[in-house]
Amino acid sequence: MSLSTELHNLGRPLVERQLAHPTVRGIADGSLPEATFRAWLEQDYLFLLDYVRVFSRLAWQAPDAHLGDLVDLAYSTFHDELALHRSMSARYGADLNTATKGKACAAYTEFLLDSAAHYGEGLAALYPCMWGYSTLGQSLAETAAPRYRAWVETYADPGFQALTERIAKMIDEADVHPGRARELFLRGMEHEIAFWDVTN
């Protein structure tokens, strides 16, 4: 069994916890109050800015075969995901210019940036976000209500799934201790769950 497959098996119960989270359910069925979605968008926007920095830090360490992968991931995050957030923020009145990180966002980005000091460990730490969102998007796509469907479709997109699969390949090829990878992956999954606890 590959390391990435092992991580998937470890992570599935935690994805189920996310699918059952009130914020995720509210996005899926359209019942989430706009004020809550707006607050979540602001936090996720700030998170993604640091996510680009994580990819960039890992790209500096990457073997030649995967340098382009990480540059592509940084580019996609900066130009595609952040553009979606700016568009949705304008629609819902989020204030991206004055937003500040909440406790969950600050803890998660600090964890990722620290983990990215080591190439293989950084990949394992960030994988919950890539794989988790891809899995959530695919799970929600068929039944998502129109209200927040644009967000769901972004992460259900086959292109995003392909980027996630590239990270899995990098993890499998990286020089990282499997036990350490499992530890960081599970910590990342817990940060993912905590991130949904939005206050507005």
* pLDDT (mean) for 89-118: 95
Full DSSP string of 98-109 = T----HHHHHHH
Mean of pLDDT values over 61-88: 93
Reply yes or no on whether the pLDDT at 199 is more than 80. no
Q: Is the pLDDT of residue 102 over 90?
A: yes
* pLDDT over 70 at 130, yes or no: yes
d(CA 171, CA 182): 11
Q: Is the pLDDT of residue 75 over 70?
A: yes
User: Domains, the chain, ranges and CATH?
Assistant: 3-196 (1.20.910.10)
Q: Who's near 93: CB < 8 A, 6+ residues apart?
A: 34, 38
| Tokens 């964890």 belong to residue | 111
CA max distance for the chain: 46
Question: What is the reported pLDDT for 200?
Answer: 60
Q: What are phi and psi of 153, to 5 degrees?
A: -65, -30
- For 39-69, write each residue's pLDDT tens digit: 999 999 999 999 999 999 999 999 999 999 9
